[in-house]
A and B are shown apart, each in its own frame.
Chain A
């Protein structure tokens, strides 16, 4: 059912719970929902993964095609990320061309993957200045129960980690090789609920929170990308605290990712 109109009563309830360090679904404020990752279910894709974060479900498929490099980086492969907010995932998702919401989501996921240098773009060069691989990360949201940012980043990372470069199909060489993955970016998203900051918000929490903050770390604990969203604000200390919490809390997601690395 729609979360458009969570009553003011519920809002007050969730805010006062958060003040005591509790959540409506029984979690602590810095706790992730259960994470489950499956990989390799789509045969037509070069790599694929389905991530369940609580009841949020995202399917990611990777396609690789040969394209031309940008003029300023003739030896680098390119990458493109799209998200499809499929109408079946949420009553409030309208059919039609991508809106701002979906574009912001794609771009935040894109930055987390790109800036972490998870993919070594120079290794995707086939012929300098002429031919490079383009990696398409297409994310299909099947069930939206909040925190699409982290779920999508995780799905993209998981799908990239089992991607085979289709050399044979495109006549590049006579053998398909695994796409080399250099590091593991993980994004953590926080919501501001009243005066509290909560990790991994559900749809219900998203509908009453005033601000969102996403930060992506690599496995060495260095920041790789961040984004503040929505029309509320965070204090300086809250941001610092969130970054610290992210470093401490992302193991759950890292463990899940490790589980799929064969």
Chain B
């Protein structure tokens, strides 16, 4: 978050990419795209491109991570070296580790982990092209992949960010808005209960703006949720 900037990110209520403040970028979701994974999903969100694959429930390795009374979710978020303009060194860095960790915990809330003691559910998210909002894109894809794998869940969790640019609260920041905007608030919710399972914030918001941003991100999640359901229905060749 660079804070105040001379760049006009929003003009007469229209953003640089032509969207209104409360508009999502275009989202395309396809379930069941990989053969080996028990469940998988390919998701395009604006120019973001993400694959998610799920294996499990299976025996948990390393064994010291096993829980006697429930399964654990081992989520892993990685970015391909070619997914950004300057080549990213392959492998897990501190950012990817943190995202992997909070996403694992978010999914442990909705996956019925108590049904599978000592097991592990492996969720792998691969970002192959990144243009801001990849953690939300990856998490949304992972939710669909988990459902596609037939893992018992209380609900799927859509994730979507809101933020602030040129003092306006907006939904789903694009690359420029992420770089030069004033705040970024990724949010993931359980649509059936409205509970928040992931929330991060960096930047500067007044208490009123925060409430507005929270509301906006929630409505973004609900929009996304519909698209996720349609993707799943389509993968079974029709209406669920």
Contact = CB atoms under 8 A, between A and B. Distances in A.
B5 interface: no
A61 B91 contact: no
A44 B129 contact: yes
A63 B91 contact: no
Contact of A61 (B76, B78, B81, B131): B81
Interface string A151-176: 00000000000000000010000000
A95 interface: yes
B123 to A, nearest CB: 9
B83 interface: yes
A103 B58 CA distance: 27
A48 B82 contact: yes
B82 A42 contact: yes
A32 interface: no
Nearest to B85: A44
B86 A65 contact: yes
Contacts of B78: 84, 86
A62 B52 contact: no
A138 B80 contact: yes
Interface in A23-48: 41-45, 48
A86 B78 CA distance: 9
Nearest to B37: A88
B126 interface: yes
B126 A143 contact: no
A89 B53 CA distance: 8
Interface string B50-88: 011111001001000000000000101010111111110
Contacts of A97: 91
Given A42-B82, A89-B53, A63 B87 contact: yes
Interface residues of A, number: 33
A144 interface: yes
A142 B126 contact: yes
Interface size band for B: 35 or more
B90 A138 contact: yes
Contact of A88 (B34, B86, B92): B34
Contact of B36 (A43, A48, A65, A90): A90
Nearest to A90: B36
Given A42-B82, A95-B76, A88 B35 contact: no
A200 B46 CA distance: 37
A59 B128 contact: yes
Contact of B82 (A55, A61, A95, A98): A61
Contacts of A86: 51, 53, 78, 124, 126
Nearest 3 CB-CB pairings of A with B: A88-B53, A61-B82, A88-B124
B114 to A, nearest CB: 23
Contact of A91 (B55, B74, B126): B55
Interface string B163-200: 00000000000000000000000000000000000000
B118 interface: no
A55 B80 contact: no
Contacts of A94: 61
B130 interface: yes
Contacts of A55: 35-36
Contacts of A138: 80-82, 87, 90
Interface in A128-154: 136, 138, 140, 142-145
A82 B35 CA distance: 23
A57 interface: yes
A44 B36 contact: no
A146 to B, nearest CB: 11
A144 B51 CA distance: 14
Contact of A143 (B35, B81, B84, B90): B35
Most chain B CB within 10 A, of A61, A65, A90, is at: A61
